[in-house]
Every structure is written in C-alpha cells, then in structure tokens.
Amino acid sequence: MKLLRQLFMAVLFIALATACGGGSKNNSSSSNYFGSQSPGDAWDWTIGSTTWSAENTTLSLDYSGTYTTLPSGFLKLIVTASTDLDLTSDISAGDYPEAYALEYPDTMLLVAPPESDEGVIVATSQDSCLADGSYDYNWINIPHSSWTITDEAYGTATALFTNSGADVDFTITMNDITGASLGPSSSSLGHDCASGLITHPVDTSIFGIATSGVIIGDNGPGEGGVAGMLAPSSDIDLAALAAVEFRGVLFDSGGFDAWCDGYAGITEPTDETSCTTDGGTWYIEGDDSEPVGTEAYVAVGTEPTCAVGASCLRGYSFADVGCHGFSGMTEPTDSVSCIADGGTWFSQHGVETDDRTPDVCGSTFDQACGVMIEFTTQATPGVINANLYSLNDEGSDEQMVFTANVLGGKYVIFGFGAYLETHCDGYGGLTEPADATACASDGGVWVEDHESYTFALVEN
C-alpha cells in the first residue's frame, strides 16, 4: 500500500492543456484569499498583477515578493521579504527563496511554500457573504496532527445564512474513509460572517467562503481543517468528469507512527485509552520521510485504456528536464540529441517547464508508467468513491473519496486518500510477525503508520 502511495506522489499527474481554468487576472486588480494548511495554520493571501503578499495568521509570520507565470500555468513566487526566521538569512544574502502556486482567479488558490517539508496551503477567494438561504456543501478533511484511519475523512454541511448573510448556522455529518458514518449530524450555531470570512465568538474555527461555491475551514493550531464546495443538485456525470483534464496540487499530510510502551499486559494496546489504562505511555512520532514541495504539482488527463463501462483518470508527472554535460554550444532539447552530444538527460519533478514526458518510472517514455484513478460509486451527488491503481505494478488498493462540482464554469475536485500500514519493530525471530499479538509475543513493538493525503484539482 505504501509503495503505491509513494508512486502516486512520485507520478504526480500531467495535463495536456497549458493554461489553468478561470481566465487571466486583470493587470490592475488583486485577489484576496483565506486558506488552511495542515495541521491547522490559517493564512491570508493577496495576489496582484506581478506581486503577492501573505500572512500566516496562526504564527504571525509575513511574506511578500514578486511572481511570474510559468509555461506550465503555475505561478513562481519569489520571496523578497519575510519575518520568518527560517528565510531571513537567505533573503539578506540575496538568495531569495522560491514557492509555487496555482490560482483559479477569484475562486481558489493552492500554494506550496518555500520549505519543502511544509504542507500545501489551500485557499478560497474571500469576497462577500452569501444571501440569506440554505446552502449544501460536500467537504473533505485536512487532517489534524494526530489524525487516524478511523477519524473523519469527508462529510456534508448545510449552512443557513440569515440576517442579510451576517449570521450562519451549520449542520454537519462526518464519515470515515470507508464511508461509514461517524454518528448523527451535529450543529454548530452562532457564527458571524463579514467580507466572506466566517468566525465564531468562542470556537476557534475560521471559514473562508466564496460566492463561486468554495468553502475552506481552519480549525485552529494542530486541529486541521476542511476543503469543501457547493454540492450539485444531481449526480455528477462520471464519464464527463473523466473526460476533463485538470491541473492541481497534492497537499500531503504525511503520517505518523503510534505505539504503546511500558504496558503491563501481554498484548500491546492499540489505542491511547487502552494503553494508558494498561499502565503504558502512548507515543506518536511524525513521519517526514515523504516531504511535499516540488513533488506537489499534479494534473490529470483522460485515461484511454480504462475498462469498458468504467470512468477513469490517468496520471502522469510534470517534469523539469534538461541535458547535463553536453559537448556542443547549445543545450539539446530532447533525450536522443542529448545522448548523441555526449550528455546525460535528466528529468525531475517540478513545474519550471511544461514538459509532458511521463518518465518518472524509467529513462524513456513509458505508456504503462503512471497511476489510474477509477471512479466506482457516487453515494450522494458530488461525493465520489474511487480506487487508485498503479499502471506499472500489479495490484492496487488505495481507497479514495472525491468531492466534485462545476464552479465558475469549471470542474473542481477535492480528494482525500488514506490507509493504515502496520509493522513490528524489534522482534526476536527471523520472520516479522503479522499482527500485534504475535509481535508482542516475539519481543517486538507493534507500530501503526496512519497515512493520508489530500489534493485539489481545477479543470484546465
């Protein structure tokens, strides 16, 4: 399972069109966005015609600079000023940090920040509150710092706007990654809305809402958030959705290892409550082995080899390519001429160029390289279950859930995938035990690795 997920992160999809949907920004205008970053940092962003500024309001850190639009359709942000101590020395030395973003103007902004081990920021346009009425949303989870496989993965929310849009009440349902309900619906009442920002006098949650239909929520430090959109009135046509090409960003939430140390019984407890009850200490250790950053840029194209009657998307990688060590005066622009000129052709994840060669599984074009997402069911309008398959490896098996709708004339997708991987550390025998009981009997420590990843895609 983990290998397939690593492939999903490494193969990061490629689109066939060059411009992100939503049109271009008016040169004299600027757009404001509110966003969330796992595990619970709130952000304010402003994108102008050539400049940008941002504030991590959770940590009170400011950033600003200039940007250019790359051939791939992504924005390259240059950080020329910041109060972030991790960046100030580089800025003072003239070594300006870089970040990348994808903007769907006046609807959504996706940002991969300069630090490669930081989660991607997903933000919504902050314009005005909605007219009085009831609005139904589908949402996916931006996990909190100790999220587990049995916690919420997605759900629905009904927002009731009254008092000319200034007062908001929510009714919320939650489901885990398997689709199982996590209990009856709950209410969150007494929220205030002003200029597209929904707050509460007691609750720390903040929501940015766009009239185009996107809603982004931040639940406070370490508490994660949500990415949602208006629910369609009827089922999404899955064949039509699979025929669209997208561009987007994967915001990996990583994962963590959890185990119980010093318990009194024979069998290791598998959760914090039973661990404490058994006299043990519950440990959680973060997993930073799979950083985001340059591997966070994804897009999706139609999958031509999908099974008859099914609806699928095919994944390829955006790649920055070039030729090292060539002997001529001019750098060759393809692998054949590069090798002929004595050079070494390279390809790495990135969006500096608009290269479409899906060669992350090998040194040459490989039609079998990549991943395929097969849509399976649609339990409610706009909530789509799917499976992730490797195209160059047998088997599959990662469960995913999408929310999808047409917003501002373009398809928008938010997705969530997760799984649990387990292993036994420090066992005494020659063969690794396959369950917690056998692991403990063999002197080992049973470790659970809770992995999750969330992504956002916009139609080209």
Query: What one-character-per-residue DSSP string does 374-428 give?
Result: EEEEEEETTEEEEEEEESSSS-EEEEEEEEEEEETTEEEEEEEEEEEEEEEES-S
For residue 355 the two structure tokens come to 């290269």
DSSP state for residue 255 in the 8-state scheme: E
Averaged pLDDT score across all residues of the chain? 78
Six-digit token string for 43: 């952000």
Q: For 318-368, how does the pLDDT look when each residue is reduced to its tens digit (9 = 90+)?
A: 555 677 788 888 888 777 888 899 887 765 556 666 554 444 444 333 344
Same domain (yes/no): 214, 173: yes
- Residue 119 falls in which region: left (phi positive, over 0), alpha (psi -120 to 50) or beta: beta
- Residue 63, pLDDT above cutoff 50: yes
User: 150 and 93 share a domain?
Assistant: no
- Which residues span the domain enclosing 177? 133-235
Rounded mean pLDDT of 421-433? 88
What are the tokens at 432?
């690794």
At 159-192, the pLDDT tens digits run 999 999 999 999 999 999 889 999 989 999 999 9
Residue 164's CATH number: 2.40.128
Identify the pLDDT of residue 164. Answer: 95
Predicted pLDDT of residue 390: 63
What pLDDT band is residue 245 in, cutting at 50, 70 and 90? confident
* 39 cis-preceded (ω within 30 degrees of 0): yes
Q: Give me the pLDDT at residue 83, please.
A: 95
Q: Which of 87, 66, 61, 86 is nearest to 77 (CA)?
A: 66
Q: What is the mean pLDDT of residues 234-250?
A: 83
Phi, psi of 125 (to 5 degrees): -60, 135
- The total domain count for the chain is 2
Are residues 89 and 178 both part of a single domain?
A: no
Q: What are 364-380's pLDDT values in tens digits?
A: 333 444 567 788 899 89
User: Do 81 and 75 meet the contact criterion of CB atoms below 8 Å apart?
Assistant: no
Average the pLDDT over 442-460 and give the result: 82
Question: Do 107 and 160 share a domain, yes or no?
Answer: no
Please report the pLDDT score of residue 15 as a whole number: 31
Clarify whether residues 191 and 150 are in a common domain.
yes
Q: Clarify whether residues 87 and 155 are in a common domain.
A: no
Show Cβ contacts of residue 388 under 8 Å, excluding neighbours closer than 6 positions: 4, 5, 8, 371, 372, 373, 396, 397, 398, 399, 400, 417
Task: Flag whether pLDDT at 225 surpasses 80.
Answer: yes
Sequence-separated (6 or more) residues with CB below 8 Å from residue 408: 22, 104, 106, 107, 212, 213
Q: Are 79 and 99 in contact (CB under 8 A)?
A: yes
pLDDT band at 209; cut points 50, 70, 90 = very high
Question: Looking at residues 5-18, what average pLDDT do you find?
Answer: 32
Is 253 part of any domain? no
User: Which of 185, 217, 235 marks a domain boundary?
Assistant: 235
pLDDT, tens digit (0-9, with 9 covering 90-100), for 96-141: 988 888 888 888 898 877 664 566 788 999 888 999 999 999 999 9
Does one domain contain both 151 and 110?
no
Rounded to whole angstroms, the Cα distance separating 210 from 207 reads 10
Is there a single domain that holds both residue 35 and residue 87? yes
* 352 occurs within a structural domain: no
pLDDT for the residue numbered 16: 27
Question: Residues 139, 221: one domain?
Answer: yes
193 lies in the same domain as 109 = no
Question: Which percentage of the chain shows pLDDT scores above 90?
Answer: 34
Instruction: Determine which of 24-28, 69-73, 178-182, 325-329 has the lowest per-residue pLDDT on average.
Output: 24-28
What pLDDT does residue 160 have? Answer: 97
User: At 21, which helix (H) or strand (E)?
Assistant: none
Residue 392's identity, in one-letter code, is N
Segment 46-74 shows an average pLDDT of 92
- CA atoms in the 13 A half-sphere facing the CB of 443: 6
* Residues 95 and 119 placed together within one structural domain of the fold: yes
- Of 235, 264, 289, the domain-final residue: 235
Let me know if 165 is exposed, middle or buried by CB neighbors in 10 A (0-12, 13-18, 19+).
Answer: middle
Q: What percentage of the chain carries pLDDT values higher than 70?
A: 75
Residue 180 lies in a domain: yes
Residue 59 lies in a domain: yes
Joined together, the tokens standing for residue 89 give: 């020395």
Q: Has residue 295 been placed in a domain?
A: no
Highest mean pLDDT among 151-165, 241-255, 367-381: 151-165
| pLDDT band at residue 315 using 50, 70 and 90 as cut-offs | low
pLDDT of residue 215: 94
Other Cβ atoms within 10 Å of 416 Cβ, number: 24
219 inside domain: yes
pLDDT score at 284? 53
Query: What band does 437 get if pLDDT is binned at 50, 70 and 90?
Result: very high
In this predicted structure, what is the pLDDT of residue 290?
31
Closest CA to 264 of 276, 278, 245: 278
Cβ atoms of 401 and 140 closer than 8 Å = yes
Residues 87 and 37 in one domain: yes
| pLDDT at residue 248, rounded to an integer | 72
- pLDDT at residue 35 above 80? yes
Residue with the larger pLDDT of the pair 80 and 119: 80
Q: Enter the pTM of the model.
A: 0.74
**φ and ψ at 34, to 5 degrees?**
-115, 135
- Residue 214 counted as domain residue: yes
Q: Is the pLDDT of residue 278 over 80?
A: yes
pLDDT of residue 460: 76
Q: What is the pLDDT of residue 456?
A: 79
For residue 55, tell me if it sits in a domain.
Answer: yes
Q: Among the three residues 179, 212, 235, which one is the final residue of a domain in this structure? A: 235
Mean pLDDT of all residues in 195-204: 92
